[in-house]
Amino acid sequence: MYEAEIQQAANMLLRSNHAVALTGAGISTPSGIPDFRSPDSGLWEKHDPMAVASLIGFRHRPDLFYQWLAPLAKTLMTAQPNPAHYALAKLETLGILKSVITQNIDLLHLKAGSKTVYEVHGHVREATCISCFTVYQAEPFMKEYLESGGTKILRCPSCGGVLKPNVILFGEQLPLNIFNAAKREIQQCDMMVVAGSSLEVYPVADMPRQARAAGAKLILINLSETDYDRVADVTIHGDVADFLPRIVQAVEAQKPPLEVA
């Protein structure tokens, strides 16, 4: 299935000069990380996102946020990259993919070996005190927090203020430097691979349109349909952990080996 599309995607990548990838929750679900919107399994099925994961909600009731976060944090701590993450890292090693723009906070692209990753929705590496704005590595705080089952609120060792993980909550602006860097990648790219994103969350959902407007070709791999299916040059409805590695295999089958000096 999709053999012609796989070959076409490989050919397009080989002809590209500046390919970028845009990834969403669907690239990490094969690693055991639930997404936010899928029926029955999405994280918003049982929780009001504005109550537990908005900036206003966090400032008023950080305890609700930390209770909600506990099972997800435990999963994030143990999750490992899957073949889709490794496939994108391989494309970067081959010199084809220049960067990954991701909506995910799970660090799995970096764990897989990708070097240039723009985490436009933040990440779980660090936490910032909302009172004195000191930034801490999050890992030293996580063991005690997880052992509490989410009943412990992370607090700043310096001032006692509440620590907020450096992830973007509802009502919070995206990290400006990272987002601007990602936009520069969009302006330069001649090829975009969208992997595992429903393209429903703005402003990231507008990036494929911006890439197309700048003349870039578009490869779209996602389990469900998206609003961009009809305008993409290649559309594959399937598991990115299956199809991305197959595309990379097709690329490697055609790409000449690197010369050794």
Residue type, 210: Q
Residue type, 12: M
| Token pair in block for residue 80 | 């490992």
Which residue out of 85, 109, 121, 123 is catalytically annotated? 121
For residue 208, say if its preceding peptide bond is cis, omega within 30 degrees of 0: no
**φ, ψ of residue 34 in degrees (nearest 5):** -70, 150
Residue 109 is a catalytic residue: no
User: Taking Cα atoms as reference points, which of 220, 179, 202, 185 lies closest to residue 5?
Assistant: 220
Beta strands of the chain (E only): which ranges?
19-23, 97-102, 117-119, 122-129, 135-137, 163-167, 191-195, 217-222, 234-237
What is the DSSP annotation of 42-64? STTSSS-HHHHSBHHHHHH-HHH
Rounded distance, CA 201 to CA 205, Å?
Answer: 5
**Pairing between β-strand 217-222 and β-strand 234-237 as defined by DSSP bridges:** parallel
Q: Describe the strand order of the beta sheet including 117-119 as a list of residue ranges.
A: 117-119, 97-102, 19-23, 191-195, 217-222, 234-237
Rounded distance, CA 158 to CA 177, Å?
Answer: 27
Report helix, strand or coil for 186: helix
- Return the active site residues: 121
